[in-house]
Chains A and B, each alone.
Chain A
């Protein structure tokens, strides 16, 4: 398997498949001498329902959220390149009558922290599962009166959810009560929020994306309103991701067909002078030690001091970009034109 194996899912109802692709290493020629740039399909498996979200649980297992309300763990057997369904929670999300044939509700988001798995769905329910445990560890019924669109971990025992009435909620899973410990919301219209991500190093910084394409940055230590609102896309923002090792970079993708790269690494505020680069930042390196002593560029809201570079990475946009993921210098995204794109030289 080449470095980073990209995941792809075809979102369609009859022949949905989960597939694993290999994106070859630089300089390697593929097995049959074909283009080392083309992703190669390694294996795939049928999936029941649309794939709403998925995440790697560990090196071999993937958790997949389905529009039927099922949550499935698939195992990738690397020795013979096959996929098999390892475990399934049937109708983890459902409306009213679980046993009705159409009683399932779409599971809209899944997040993993091995061995724990948290899922949210259109039924406003939050489930906490543990891999290899048959029953849910905890279920919060009616956690939300509207649809929960996405979930992510804030700390090991706390999660963040966003819903379709524009609220960002923190849930403390240690506590037994079924109420969020904090609720944040935007002022103005209750625009639904579709995605959420937390800064990898500074856990109080959270980014959310809304139905109007707006990117909001929140500081959850203070206040109930976002620190900054950035007018971004022209339609729903489907996913937002901080770069895991280079968190001055943020990526968002939208129904309007664009994928934006937000780069605050050239921001001149607060950084010690020895970190200033001559021109654009061209290398990626871990900011781990640096960030702790520096106020994150995401929270500064002085437009004169900070220069944020925003680039649209898609030259000829047509249909929606539904999903993206980043690892190191590699960016993967999928569009409604049933195509996956791999960019392996993100910071070149």
Chain B
């Protein structure tokens, strides 16, 4: 890494890791979010077996989502014309495939916690599902005209035997028997052995001891046939018989057909120890890997993870996966599921939260950097009891709000969680933006949402300023229809009432207008700075032919005027220009004249 040279300036181009957010992975994130929420919400009322069934179903759901994404990714890889894109998609397919492989094993060992007996069956299914390199060969042989004459015929039979697919192996054997009369006898015996092979049952039809007993007898029978040299004339069938007897070397000879050490492991178990107990797996796993790799190659990350699983080292599995995979999706969801299975001790990590929460927080934080997936992140934070809320508070304020609709969604999330600080802050941002764009109605709408009196005052001052400058109100549709929101701030109330005054005046309802005007000053709704304007507004009312203000009201007005002028210091009075002084003079005159008229009017008895 170059040390920064003060003499040269560098510009670094930082690029976001696009790996995480490829189109098809978004589907993975969205669908798994639904499964995650369902799991969190599922009641723990079920205990024991039904709860376990429920958890296994959740695990299967996650896996089916992974497989669906694998399919889509595969389609995308096939149809991609750009080679870089094609390789990117293909890499993703292998990563997803590995994830599903690991998850499936974890499901068998941890979620379902298969016991001796069913354990082997599950492992066989697992191997059959994931070792597909041989599928093409199988298809080729089966679809050929004369399968038994095909050069790969015995390979396919071996594959079936190695995967414990006895019926299919027997089916092919029958073809060999009909094609080759000399081997009919051998085929019949081998077929018989395969048919009689005891397998663990899923139900309770036999106990383990019963099964072991039967298996022992069968094993001895196979042994006899081998030692008698029954299959001596056909090396293929002899090797199959050796496999049936669990001969490691015979099985190892078929390395290319098994392709992986864990396939080897399961085959070994099938033919030497079908009633293997979960805790015994670790010994077989280690030796299988050693035998299979034979010191030629070292274990890959995937191998290490699977080995940790066979050893029932949960934390090791999670740790290795975190290192090997580039995003937190896998470990976060798997750990959460294992936590629901009550398999993770809640030993705290250094920073206080437990493993499950730590991983979920990391995953969700990653989602927040995406313009659309952040909404999923919210739900994940919700289910992190220790730090979820704090993380949410910090992240939610940093979401870019490019449209009002997005802001509304963010606000709704904050309001639902009583995050009042964030609500205020976001509304303020939106209101300021609106104000800058001269959208006073929008700005007011945001202040109402946040119940932000200070901002409402700011907006009202803007309106009043506009009025003073232009002599008329802008946005009358807003001011005329404030409704109860008028009460949000005093200034806003004043604005509404002031506009009402103008309306009353326009409708020639002078006495009501006069009363309102006076009330605005005496009830101190109007800011002091505006009093002069209000008094000036009173002038036309004072000058009307008909007397409008009563004596009482006139005295009030005079008092207001005196309060206003008395409040000014001598210096201010000196600075007042002629217009100001003239205004005051005119007002005094008008008030005096009005007073005179009204005293006369009120003192006059109506003629009889």
A interface residues with partner B (beta carbon < 8 Å): 10-15, 50, 52, 67, 95-96, 105-106, 108, 122-124, 142, 144-147, 163-167, 169, 180, 183, 185, 187-190, 192, 211, 235-236, 255, 316, 318-320, 336-339
Contacts and interface: CB of A to CB of B under 8 A. Distances in A.
B371 A14 contact: yes
Contacts of A96: 437-438
A159 B422 CA distance: 37
B485 interface: yes
Contacts of B477: 144-145, 167, 169, 180, 183
Contact of B442 (A164, A169, A320): A164
Contact of B403 (A106, A211, A316): A106
B293 to A, nearest CB: 42
Nearest to A187: B483
B405 interface: yes
Interface of B: 23, 26-27, 30-31, 33-34, 37-38, 371-372, 375-376, 379, 402-406, 408-409, 412, 416, 437-442, 444-445, 448, 474-475, 477-478, 481-485
A146 B444 contact: yes
Report which residue of A144, A167, A319 has the largest number of chain B beta carbons within 10 angstroms of its beta carbon.
A319
Nearest to B378: A319
B478 to A, nearest CB: 5
Contact of A316 (B38, B406, B408): B38
A144 B441 contact: yes
B30 A337 contact: yes
A336 B439 CA distance: 29
A67 B401 CA distance: 11
Contacts of A15: 23
B409 A320 contact: yes
B444 A338 contact: no
B408 A236 contact: yes
Contacts, number: 123
B34 A145 contact: no
Contacts of B408: 211, 236, 255
A316 B61 CA distance: 15
B442 A336 contact: no
Given A188-B483, A337-B33, A145 B441 contact: yes
Q: Which 5 A-B pairs have the closest CB atoms?
A: A146-B441, A145-B441, A145-B475, A95-B437, A12-B372
A54 to B, nearest CB: 14
B478 A165 contact: yes
Contacts of B445: 146-147, 164-165, 190, 192
B400 to A, nearest CB: 9
A67 B38 contact: no
B402 A255 contact: no
A234 B406 CA distance: 17
B375 A336 contact: yes
A122 B402 contact: no
19 contacts: A50-B402, A95-B438, A95-B439, A96-B437, A105-B437, A108-B405, A145-B439, A147-B439, A147-B441, A165-B444, A188-B484, A189-B484, A189-B485, A190-B483, A316-B38, A319-B375, A320-B375, A320-B409, A336-B375
A164 B485 CA distance: 13
B248 to A, nearest CB: 46
A13 B370 CA distance: 10
B481 A165 contact: yes
A89 B406 CA distance: 23
Contacts of A185: 481, 483
B594 to A, nearest CB: 37
A166 B372 CA distance: 28
A72 B233 CA distance: 79
A180 B477 CA distance: 9
A180 B30 CA distance: 44
Contacts of B481: 165, 167, 183, 185, 190
Nearest to A167: B481
Contacts of A14: 371
B441 A316 contact: no
A253 B437 CA distance: 31
Contact of B439 (A122, A169, A192): A122
Contacts of B402: 13, 50, 67, 106
B403 A52 contact: yes
A146 B33 contact: no
